[in-house]
Structures are given as structure tokens and as C-alpha cells.
Structure 1
Amino acid sequence: MTPEEIKRYFEATPPPQEMDWKPWAKITDSQLFLKSCYLTIDNYKGSLDMCPAWWHLKEVYMLVRRGSQGAKSENQTE
């Protein structure tokens, strides 16, 4: 998965405006959070694997994917 693939995913399937990311972290504006991650990744000079914004972006992507898959499975059981 690349940052561009994640960006295309979020463009096609926008995340909720607010979300609880971690027990101690809440995202109150997901679009602003994503924009910040993309800019930081674009300007990061080191290895992509060492970029903190890349790790944050992947974590949020996995959180949103798990949430959407859970919602789909709940709708199928009804």
C-alpha cells in the first residue's frame, strides 16, 4: 500500500468527520488530519517507513477499513 493508494481510497470513501483514533487521541477533523499527513509525507526527506505521518496514515486507514467492514457485516446479518 502506498500513500497515493490510501489517498485514492479516502477520496472514494471519505472517513467520518470525527473519530476516536486511540484511547488518548481523538481526530476532530479527519480531512484536516489527512491533509496534514499527505503534506508531511510529501515533504519528508528520509525513508517512507521512518516517516511518523506515514505510520499515522496507515493506522487510521486500518481503523476506517475495520469500521466499514464491521458495518457491512452487521447489515448482512439483519
Structure 2
Amino acid sequence: MTPEEIRRYFIDNPPPKEVDWKPHAKITDSQAFLNHTFVLINNHRGQLDSCPAWWRLKEFYGDMKKQDESQK
């Protein structure tokens, strides 16, 4: 999975505006969160796997995908 594939997934399957993601993380504007995460990834100088924003994005993607699948 690449950042671009995840971006396309979220274009086709936008998350809710507000997401209680984790007990210690509430996202109040998921589009702003995603946009900021993609900017951080694009500006990262180094291997993608060493970018904290990439790990956050993959985790968020996995959690949203599970939630989408459970609602079907």
C-alpha cells in the first residue's frame, strides 16, 4: 500500500468528520487530519517507513477500513 492508494481510498470512502479514534485521540476534522498527514509524508526526507506520519496514516486507514467492513 502506498500513500497515494490510501489517498484514493479516502476520496472514495471519506471518514466521518469527527472520529473517536483511540481513547486518547479524538479527531475533530478528519479531512484536516488527512491533509496534514499527507503534507508531512510528502515533506519527509528519508525512507517512508521512518516517517511517523506514515505509520499514523496506515493505522488510521486500517481502523477506518475495519469499521467500513463491519458496517456492511
Task: Say whether 1:66 aligns with 2:47.
Answer: no
Q: Who wins on radius of gyration, i.e. which is larger?
A: 1
When the two structures are superposed, what TM-score results if normalisation uses the length of structure 2?
A: 0.97
Structure 2 spans left out of the alignment, 5+ residues: none
TM-score where L is the length of structure 1: 0.90
Structure 2 residue identity aligned to 1:19: V
Q: Deviation per CA, 1:26-59: give whole Å up to 9, x if none.
A: 1110000000010000000011001010011011
How many residue pairs end up in the alignment? 72
Structure 1 residue runs of 4 or more that deviate by more than 2 Å after TM superposition? none
* Cross-structure match for 1:76: none
CA distance in 2, matches of 1:17, 1:7: 16
Percent of matched pairs sharing the same residue: 57
Alpha-carbon distance in 2 for matches of 1:70, 1:15: 14
The separation in 2 between residues aligned to 1:14 and 1:22, in whole angstroms, is 18
Identify the structure with the greater helix proportion.
Answer: 1
